[in-house]
Amino acid sequence: MKKIILFLFPLFIYAQPDCMMTLYTLESTTDGVTTTTITTYTWDGLTSSFTTNDNSSSGYITYNTNGDVVEQFTDYGGGSTIQVNNQYNSYNQLTQAIYNSGGISESIYNYTWDGLTSSWTVLNNPLSGYTTYNTNGDIVENFIDYGGPTSTQIYQYDSDNRLIQTAVTYSDDWMPGWVTNYTWDGLTANFVTSGGMTYSGYQIMNVNDYIVELYSNTGTTESTSTYEYNCNTSTLLDLNKSKTLLFTINLIGQETVQKGFNIEIYDDGSVEKKYVIK
């Protein structure tokens, strides 16, 4: 017989199906001086408004029901703003992104898809490239042509689809390349970067593949980022995910099949309260 005591009362309300970031904290130390920036997110439907504790920036992000960004606006103060608008096709693939910097300049990225590869160009700009994904939706190759010099970034994953290496190379000795190797211990990945850039650190994921902590040390600067969310589902906006009932408990935490006020617990972590009359 299963008993749930500690979590019984907080779960009397319906579990929210959306997984949304509510707090992001960045602590950085350089030359012995530490600064902390806290970004707080408040949600209204599919729109997240955010602001920093030092008033260095504020804005909003609006998502579609697939969890993709359709609009993002950031105000850095002093009249400096950036607005991004994204468009998607019927397969939920990005087809256009428009970047507007305070009405001063605008860049339009157009994307064309061939299977799992997205080729892109920038209107009135020599910049172009492509990104190739695997069947899990993870990037395996990213190529950028800067109008002469190019860069190629290759990603490798293990059998559990965990990132184990990122390697960047540049053409014509334009810049030195670098390699980052990841070693996993449970939900923690320690990483070391060598070559053109040298740093190390770790990242900690939760059981739903959300990053909850990221630490890096470049030798001159240490930074730690922490992330908080308001739910435990496995995607950003898990509105349509199917779920399976694990078991039903009564008000005192005992598993039951009897009628009355019951609480149903599902395999995606959601909880529903129901009054069974039959």
The yes-or-no verdict on residue 63 having pLDDT over 50 is yes
Contact assessment for residue 147 and residue 126, using Cβ atoms and an 8 Å cutoff: yes
Mean pLDDT for the stretch of residues 35-54: 94
The yes-or-no verdict on residue 67 having pLDDT over 90 is no
Cα gap 7→269, rounded to integer Å: 12
Report pLDDT digits (tens) over 112-137. 999 999 999 999 888 999 999 998 88
Which tokens hold the place of 189? 């990945």
Cα gap 67→208, rounded to integer Å: 15
Report pLDDT digits (tens) over 183-227. 999 999 999 999 988 889 999 988 777 789 999 998 899 999 999
DSSP state of 18: B
- Residue 109 bridge partners (DSSP): 97, 122
One-letter amino acid of 149: P
Contact assessment for residue 136 and residue 129, using Cβ atoms and an 8 Å cutoff: no
Question: Radius of gyration over alpha carbons of the chain, in Å?
Answer: 23
Q: Of the candidates 252, 269, 271, 274, which has an alpha carbon nearest to the alpha carbon of residue 2?
A: 252
- Residue 122 bridge partners (DSSP): 109, 125
- Confidence band (pLDDT; 50, 70, 90) for 20? confident
